[in-house]
């Protein structure tokens, strides 16, 4: 899978970007897929396309001072990495999480560039956030933090420049405070953020979009091999916005989700999470920022501390939490337990070694930049609705989302099909995204 050319390229990337292992990992995954194309296409080599793609167009780092409820001054660090604007304004979420660093923002912005290209909508790639940890913060603290964060960010973004959205730790509440402050600063009601509330310029189905989209993508992967979600047991790891709506759609399609988890452990509920239990899960993180264990206590389900849900026997595994939450050991356990499909709902949740194992064992593997593109796709639809000052119905947005996920799947098959009819979706997604961004970059000259 790797080659001399990939190793030589990675040596440069690592030397130029020291201390950013997640960025190296994301670049390596793409380089492994596209290097053969670059080697056989002199125009890409001459234009140094891949070297340009790994260099952000701009990276902004800023101080975010705010005052906590005790009256003490706190200082966080804010980031916005504007990676690539060849096919549209920079687009990508904001993450508020203790793990946020420049390196993690760069990996996410790099991934986002290819993901956004796959949606077929005109969006470039970006990502931002802060090392602010929303767990345990009061509403007032979150608001003051968001206002301080936006006071600096506002000058760097705009509806035709850069359009942030939510990501881990940034949901409806945070987007509200961020948008309120932006509007105050620029004195304009404009589509500068997506994931907005429905009463102030948001799109229907945006909260559901990532979870629904992952389910649609999984359904397509299974359908291609004559399988379906109906009757399948599914393990997931997160329980935020993505996990909750994924469970909702899986239930609708006749599957059963039996786990959720967080950094402290996981819940196993063999009956499946549905009905009132699902309604409880929907608010658990998004509204209360409460631990997954609360579910186990309330519904008398099994709580397994300090472990990950990948040890539970399942047909399908869908990591929904954070990068590198599923390693080679977990992958081997899933394979040994008869798991047939793994679909990445979080960004880069599987390590490269885990991915290599899935591909070697011909497991259906849906990489994040294809499988979780539904969220940003509906963000793109929100931008269109904002530009037209119109609002589409639930059915219309959901139908468009479904159509986009079906087409992304087809594109991956087209570029990732192997002679034995297995589909390497990693290769398919990377190559298709690369072609689109690379050809736009060639057309635009050396910029």
How far is 191 from 188, CA to CA, in rounded Å?
9
Within 191-327, residue ranges assigned H as helices are: 206-224, 241-252, 275-284, 293-299
Do residues 130 and 96 make contact, with C-beta atoms less than 8 angstroms apart?
Answer: yes
> Residue 287 burial (CB < 10 Å; 0-12/13-18/19+)?
exposed
Using CB under 6 A, list all residues that contact ligand GLU: 91-93, 165, 167, 194, 347, 375-376, 379
46 catalytic residue (yes or no): no
Residue with CB nearest ligand GLU?
93
Q: CB of 130: closest distance to ligand GLU in angstroms?
A: 14
Helix (H, G, I), strand (E, B) or coil at 224: helix
Q: Between 167 and 330, whose beta carbon lies closer to ligand GLU?
A: 167
Do residues 321 and 237 make contact, with C-beta atoms less than 8 angstroms apart?
Answer: yes
For residue 154, what is the DSSP state?
G
Q: How close are the terminal C-alpha atoms of the chain, in Å?
A: 31
Q: CB of 101: closest distance to ligand GLU in angstroms?
A: 17
Q: CB of 122: closest distance to ligand GLU in angstroms?
A: 13
Q: CB of 368: closest distance to ligand GLU in angstroms?
A: 8
Pick the catalytic residue: 91, 106, 115, 127?
127
Q: Between 349 and 375, whose beta carbon lies closer to ligand GLU?
A: 375
Q: CB of 413: closest distance to ligand GLU in angstroms?
A: 22
Q: Between 103 and 375, whose beta carbon lies closer to ligand GLU?
A: 375
Residue given tokens 């960010």 in the structure block: 153
Q: CB of 11: closest distance to ligand GLU in angstroms?
A: 29
Within 17-84, residue ranges assigned H as helices are: 21-39, 42-46, 49-53
Q: CB of 240: closest distance to ligand GLU in angstroms?
A: 11
How far is 106 from 28, CA to CA, in rounded Å?
13
Q: Between 157 and 352, whose beta carbon lies closer to ligand GLU?
A: 157
Q: What is the distance, to the nearest Å, from the Cα of residue 115 to the centroid of all Cα atoms in its chain?
A: 9
Q: Which of these, 326, 262, 249, 257, lies nearest to 291 by C-alpha position? A: 262
How far is 392 from 357, CA to CA, in rounded Å?
42
**C-alpha torsion sign, points 148, 110, 345, 408:** positive
Q: Between 167 and 208, whose beta carbon lies closer to ligand GLU?
A: 167
Continuous segment of H or E residues that includes residue 398: helix 394-416
For residue 367, what is the DSSP state?
-
Q: What are phi and psi of 32, to 5 degrees?
A: -60, -35
Q: What are 417's strand-pairing partners? A: 423
Q: CB of 258: closest distance to ligand GLU in angstroms?
A: 25
Q: Between 237 and 340, whose beta carbon lies closer to ligand GLU?
A: 237
Q: Between 78 and 255, whose beta carbon lies closer to ligand GLU?
A: 78
Q: What is the distance, to the nearest Å, from the Cα of residue 357 to the centroid of all Cα atoms in its chain?
A: 22
Q: Between 191 and 375, whose beta carbon lies closer to ligand GLU?
A: 375
Helix (H, G, I), strand (E, B) or coil at 260: strand
Residues known to be catalytic: 127
């Amino acid at each position: 899978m790797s080659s001399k050319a990939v190793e030589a390229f990675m040596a440069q990337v690592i030397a130029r970007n020291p201390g950013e292992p997640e960025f190296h990992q994301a670049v390596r995954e793409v380089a492994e897929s596209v290097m053969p194309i670059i080697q056989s296409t002199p125009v890409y080599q001459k234009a140094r396309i891949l070297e340009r793609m790994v260099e952000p167009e701009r990276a902004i780092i800023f101080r975010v001072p705010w005052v906590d409820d005790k009256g003490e001054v706190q200082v966080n660090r804010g980031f916005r990495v504007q990676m690539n604007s060849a096919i549209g304004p920079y687009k990508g979420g904001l993450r508020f999480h203790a793990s946020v660093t420049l390196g993690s923002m760069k990996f996410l912005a790099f991934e986002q560039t290819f993901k956004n290209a796959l949606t077929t909508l005109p969006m470039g790639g970006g990502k931002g956030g802060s090392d602010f940890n929303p767990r345990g913060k009061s509403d007032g603290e979150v608001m003051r933090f968001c206002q301080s964060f936006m006071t600096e960010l506002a000058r760097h973004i705009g509806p035709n420049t850069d359009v942030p959205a939510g990501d881990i730790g940034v949901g409806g509440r945070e987007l509200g405070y961020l948008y309120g402050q932006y509007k105050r600063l620029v004195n304009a009601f404009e589509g500068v953020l997506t994931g907005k509330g429905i009463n102030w310029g948001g799109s229907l189905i945006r909260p559901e979009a990532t979870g629904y989209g992952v389910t649609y993508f999984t359904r397509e992967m299974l359908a291609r091999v004559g399988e379906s979600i109906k009757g399948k047991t599914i393990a997931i790891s997160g329980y935020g916005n993505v996990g909750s709506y994924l469970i909702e759609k899986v239930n609708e399609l006749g599957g059963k989700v039996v786990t959720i988890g967080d950094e402290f452990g996981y819940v196993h509920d063999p009956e499946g999470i549905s009905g009132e239990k699902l309604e409880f899960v929907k608010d658990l993180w998004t509204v209360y920022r409460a631990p997954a264990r609360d579910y186990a206590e309330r519904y008398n389900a099994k709580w397994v501390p300090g472990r990950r849900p990948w040890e539970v026997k399942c047909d399908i595994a869908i990591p929904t939490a954070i990068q590198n939450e599923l390693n080679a050991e977990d992958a081997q356990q899933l394979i040994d337990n008869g798991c047939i499909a793994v679909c990445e709902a979080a960004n880069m949740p599987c390590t490269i070694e885990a991915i290599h194992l899935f591909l070697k064992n011909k497991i259906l593997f849906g990489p994040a930049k294809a499988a979780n593109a539904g969220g940003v796709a509906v963000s793109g639809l929100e931008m269109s609705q904002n530009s037209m000052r119109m609002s589409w119905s639930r059915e219309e947005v959901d139908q468009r989302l479904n159509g986009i996920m079906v087409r992304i799947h087809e594109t991956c098959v087209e570029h990732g099909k192997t002679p034995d009819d297995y589909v390497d979706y990693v290769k398919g997604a990377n190559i298709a995204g690369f072609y689109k961004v690379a050809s736009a970059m060639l057309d635009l000259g050396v910029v």
